[in-house]
Amino acid sequence: MNDTGEAPALRPHARPTLRQVAAEAGVSLKTASRVLNGHPHVTEATAARVRQASDRLGFRLNRIARELRSGATSTSVGLIISDLANPFYARLARGAERVLRDAGLQLITTSTDEDPDQERSLVDELLERRVRALLLVPSGDDHGYLENEGRRTPVVFLDRPPVHLGADTVLVDSRAGAALAVEHLLAAGHRRIGFLGDLSRLATHRERMAGFAGAMAAAGVTGWERYVRSDSHDMASARLRTAELLALDPPPTALFTTNNLNTAGALRALVGRADPPALIGFDDFDLADVLGVTVIGHDPEKMGRIAADMVLSRLGGDSSDARCVILPTRLVPRGSGERPPR
Amino acid sequence: MNDTGEAPALRPHARPTLRQVAAEAGVSLKTASRVLNGHPHVTEATAARVRQASDRLGFRLNRIARELRSGATSTSVGLIISDLANPFYARLARGAERVLRDAGLQLITTSTDEDPDQERSLVDELLERRVRALLLVPSGDDHGYLENEGRRTPVVFLDRPPVHLGADTVLVDSRAGAALAVEHLLAAGHRRIGFLGDLSRLATHRERMAGFAGAMAAAGVTGWERYVRSDSHDMASARLRTAELLALDPPPTALFTTNNLNTAGALRALVGRADPPALIGFDDFDLADVLGVTVIGHDPEKMGRIAADMVLSRLGGDSSDARCVILPTRLVPRGSGERPPR
DNA sequence: TTGAAAGCGCTAACAC
DNA sequence: GTGTTAGCGCTTTCAA
């Protein structure tokens, strides 16, 4: 029971416990627990007393204790992406969050800044927190370290496949998307097509490169290697590389940029040019319609939703083999990709 | 000790405990704990044995148990925003995450979709998780319910001030920013200036409205109420409202849009018009430079960082009165705001 | 319908 | 340098 009639001083983190609520209400610990968890078999009168005591004390159930007692597992899921402020990942996170929230799970989102070491330490940290599952946009190039973990904690890879590990994966069809873009440009008569790529070590880059190269080869175009620039992972360097490409002689008559950041960089380099090359970008983005930028569009939010669904299915007991879902892309013509070669 | 020499079946969530590691290494629980937490006073030989046992068993410390034992407080901080996919909030989240991560805290980010009920239930949930602090972009219009919580768990409000509650707050100078925009337009000779506002119940809206009205009044302009449209919280309705404004007779010669979504909507409505009105938008955004859109810029990432710093200072014991930081805005002229009246 | 006792996995306090 | 004991706040038996 309360030792004095006065309200206790509210020191930070000095929260009342269930035991104190029970004492205040004059019932046992277990009864108080039942009431505050909405379990049956309690008289309404008793329940009311407990609730009053709880409110009076400003009580809140401690989920940490609850989770420890009931299995030492949390009710959260970890999401590791490279950068929260990239709209692509922000959308992906939103899709995942909504599905998980409806299932009573909370999403803990963290960013690696594309650093493989950071990836490992975040994975460690989240596993220590006993997240129920992990959603991972990998930066590293070896995920063998998850081999044993995967049997205990479901792991779903997003946007990029795992290396040296079999695990559920959701990807976008990078190769086909890139081919789509190039074929569109080739059909309009372009032959000198610039390629602006992300970090070469990323699987998405390699696939988009492969799609590009394949389509060029199929059309019998040679010498395209001259117009390839890779490893630009931010707008500034994309802008620079674009300027480089346009300074070549002869310059490319079209550009294919392999993600939203590179597209944004290229657009900046093209501002104010009288005769801009045609441009198609991988990833749709805000205001691409206003800018009239033709893109290879897909649905990052759906990617997040599907990954979250996979997690839920694994948590529901599905122990079938690892699956890989590949989401389709589509060409969204808006003008920039339809400019003819000069 | 191990009951058999064989590896145990890896059932999901059947993780080894510290006790098992200790047994496997032939040391006490406490010694194992010391080693795996990097505490001193352990022989290197003993430490090595423990680490080997830990690796062999695939052990990972259970933070849930640790946190329960040491104060029943987690090492995470909750962030409640309205929409992760809005670049403004994504940037804010990134700023906060970086500061907190450096302090060893993890950020749990959740979205309310601007629903006050959702806000309350997310606050409840995060407090049950015993987050160390709460960063809140409020949707509700009464935060009295946090009165007592605030003494136990630091709460910092972002972007919008608390109502019926004193609490640390970080805002952007909405009123001054709006005035800046309007004065810029007035100076260029505009008199009929359209105003495209967000939900009227939001403080940011009201402040920007006040800044707008004040600047108009100071310039002796009357009849501007006709060109005000509020409560548009998505691009589609912003676009519609812009079209409405432009259909008035006489139409406005300039527009002031009060946030990034409204600016995007207005831009869509202006596409293809031969004689677009001047346009200034509150909030900077990606590619605004390419589009030549004049904006009232500020720094959302900094807002996140400052809020996180406030949290850290409160957690460090600072119990001074609630503070309010107001971040400055600046006019970034890029062309659209410099179009003369027709 | 209610309660008493045990214990989740770990760390803090205090031996030795 | 290492071990023993107690207990964080809750839920889960099991008994009344």
Residue-wise pLDDT tens digits, B251-292: 999 999 999 999 999 999 999 899 999 999 999 999 999 999
Quick: pLDDT tens for A295-320.
999 999 999 999 999 999 999 889 89
Q: Whole-number mean pLDDT of chain A?
A: 91
Q: What percent of chain A has pLDDT over 90?
A: 76
Query: What is the pTM (predicted TM-score) of this model?
Result: 0.89
The confidence score (pLDDT) of residue B9 equals 32
B38 CA to D4 C1' distance (Å): 21
pLDDT in tens, A4-24: 322 233 334 468 899 999 999
B residues 162..221 contacting A (CB < 8 A): none
Task: Answer whether residue A338 shows pLDDT above 90.
Answer: yes
**Nearest-CA residue relative to C1' of D3:** B28
B166-189: b (≥16 Cβ within 10 Å) or e: ebbbbbbbbbbbbbbbbbbbbeee
Distance in Å, residue A26 CA to nucleotide D14 C1': 22
Query: Across the interface, which of A13, A106, A152 has its CB nearest the CB of B110?
Result: A106
The enclosing H or E element of A158 equals strand A155-158
Query: Does any strand C atom come closer than 7 Å to the Cβ of A43?
Result: yes
Q: pLDDT value at position B149? A: 83
Q: How far apart are CA B90 and CA B81, in angstroms?
A: 9
What are the pLDDT digits (tens) for A259-280? 999 999 999 999 989 999 999 9
What's the confidence (pLDDT) of residue B1? 29
Contacts of A335 in chain B (CB under 8 A): none
B91 touches chain A (CB under 8 A): yes
Q: What is the distance between the alpha carbons of residues B45 and B26, in angstroms, rounded to a whole number?
A: 12
* A66-87 pLDDT, tens digit each: 988 887 678 899 999 999 899 9
Of A40 and A102, more confident: A102
pLDDT of residue B165: 93
pLDDT at B151: 81
Specify the pLDDT at position A72.
Answer: 63
**Residues paired with residue A61 on neighbouring β-strands, in sequence order:** none
Q: Which residues of chain B have pLDDT under 70?
A: 1-14, 72
Residue B41: left if φ>0, alpha if ψ -120 to 50, beta else—which one?
A: left
User: Tokens 């390629």 correspond to what residue?
Assistant: A195
Interatomic separation, CA of residue B38 and C1' of nucleotide C2, rounded (Å): 46
What is the pLDDT at residue A40?
A: 82
Nucleotide whose C1' lies closest to the alpha carbon of residue A60? D9
Q: Answer whether A103 touches B (CB < 8 Å).
A: no
CA B30 / C1′ C15 distance in Å: 13
DSSP labels, A37-82: TT-SS--HHHHHHHHHHHHHHT----HHHHHHHTTS--SEEEEEES
Tally of CB atoms within 10 A around A255: 31
Kindly tell me if the per-residue pLDDT of A193 is higher than 70.
Answer: yes
Return the closest nucleotide (C1') to the Cα of A40: C1
Closest CA to B116 of B205, B38, B202, B21: B202
Cα nearest neighbour of A93 on chain B: B84
Structure tokens at B28: 């006490």
Which residues in B lie closer than 8 A to residue A97 (C-beta atoms)?
Answer: 84, 109-111
| Residue B308: φ, ψ to 5° | -65, -40
